[in-house]
Amino acid sequence: MNKLHLNIKVRLAESFFSSFITFMFLPFMAIYFAKYFGETLAGILVAVITVVGLVSSLYGGQLADKLGRKKIMLLSEVLRFVALFFLIFCNSPWQTWPNLTFVLMILLNIGSGLALPAAQAMVVDVSTPDNRKLIYRLEYWSSNLALAIGVGLGGVLFSNHLFELLIIAAAGSLLSFIIVKFLIKETFFTEFKERVHLRKLYYDYKITWHDKLFMIYILASILALSLEFQVMNYTGVRLSNSTDQFSLWSTDRFQFSLGGVELFGLLRSENAVIVILFSLTVGLLSRIIKDRWLLILGVLINAVGYYFIAIGNNAWLLLAMMIPATVGELMFYPVKQTYLAEIAPAESRSVYMAVNSLVGRAATMLGGAAITIGHWLPVWLMGLLFLGTGVMAAWLFVIFMNRMEERAAPLDSTTSPTIMQ
């Protein structure tokens, strides 16, 4: 840690604090929109917000390479603070303006989208191949810790104290701006010579669209990673609409139960805590199970866990099924990333990585669609759709790995004569 660049240390601290603030309310906005606009429109609104964030992220990548990392990060923090500042007044004890809240959530997501590629590029600028794995492990760890604390707190306070949560979030955004302004050093210096426009994105990323093997990988990744977003968005709305209390402990003299929103927050926190506590332990499975089977089994175990979460109405069942759902993700995610490094050609590696970074956005969009579809379909059928999504992802990964082996076969045959000599 002592040898890391100051920017990285500051970024890790700022990222944890910013993520903690965001996770206090952002995962619950699907419930908010469903309450004021209905479940059908809520899914569409979540998808729109996600698309805007996706486009702003692509555009932010171009801007960061033209204007510098720090300038874009500062612009992002300004947009986020403005959005959060006005969100306070749109959700105060005196009035609630859901329509303007939606517009401000778009602005908030634009700010977040602009910052992501700039922050990631800045980390690469000041890191080395030797310490990047440590940096990314620390980011992954801190992000899940922020998720566990933030979502847990949000689950308790969101329903009745959204006003106070937004005040805290706005204050945190202002603090993030101050940190970036005075502690982060610019790492990329260039003159703005080329006009930045979205049309150029088509030519920059066209090469990846013609790589069929890579597209199979991307589609399988989207389906696998979207399962969590779909099930948790759907389950969050489903639980929030329930008027029942979910009992966790009951005796003749004592009963401990949770409302739907509180139970949803507990599930999200459990997911993050499992990642924090067992990510390294699950990683040891790679020593005894081949990557191929670790990937397939991980996706299927993840799907089965989320299937029961989607249809279950017992608190203990939901909490128990979060264990295989999360462990499955811990099994397949590192293997999936390893295959990505193998498939990306050296001369186009950054382009491939940039396209892969959009997988999360696409997965979030499918998560929003689940809210809309779930309004019209019964619970049991939604559960089957989620399970089918996981099975389809596993099947596509099988096709992908088979074609990877076919691609490597000619290389093996050409090298074997040399070995025999």
pTM reported for the whole predicted model? 0.66
Three-state secondary structure call for residue 211: coil
**Contact yes or no for 172/165 (Cβ under 8 A):** no
CA separation for the pair 84, 76 (Å, rounded): 12
pLDDT of 419: 36
Beta pairing class for 246-250 and 255-258: antiparallel
CA separation for the pair 158, 91 (Å, rounded): 11
pLDDT of 307: 94
Residue 285 DSSP one-character state:
G
> Tens-of-pLDDT digits for all 421 residues of the chain?
566 778 888 888 888 877 887 788 777 888 888 888 887 788 788 878 878 887 787 777 667 767 777 888 889 889 999 999 999 999 888 888 999 999 999 999 888 878 777 777 777 677 776 666 567 667 767 777 787 788 778 877 777 888 888 888 888 888 888 888 888 887 766 655 555 555 666 665 677 778 888 899 999 999 998 898 889 888 888 888 876 777 677 666 666 777 777 888 788 778 878 887 877 677 677 678 887 898 999 999 999 999 999 998 888 899 999 999 989 988 887 778 667 767 766 555 545 666 676 777 788 778 878 888 888 889 899 999 999 999 999 999 999 999 888 876 655 555 444 433 3
57, two tokens = 């992220």
Phi, psi of 189 (to 5 degrees): -120, 125
CA separation for the pair 234, 309 (Å, rounded): 10
Nearest Cα neighbor of 36 from 109, 108, 91, 107 is 91
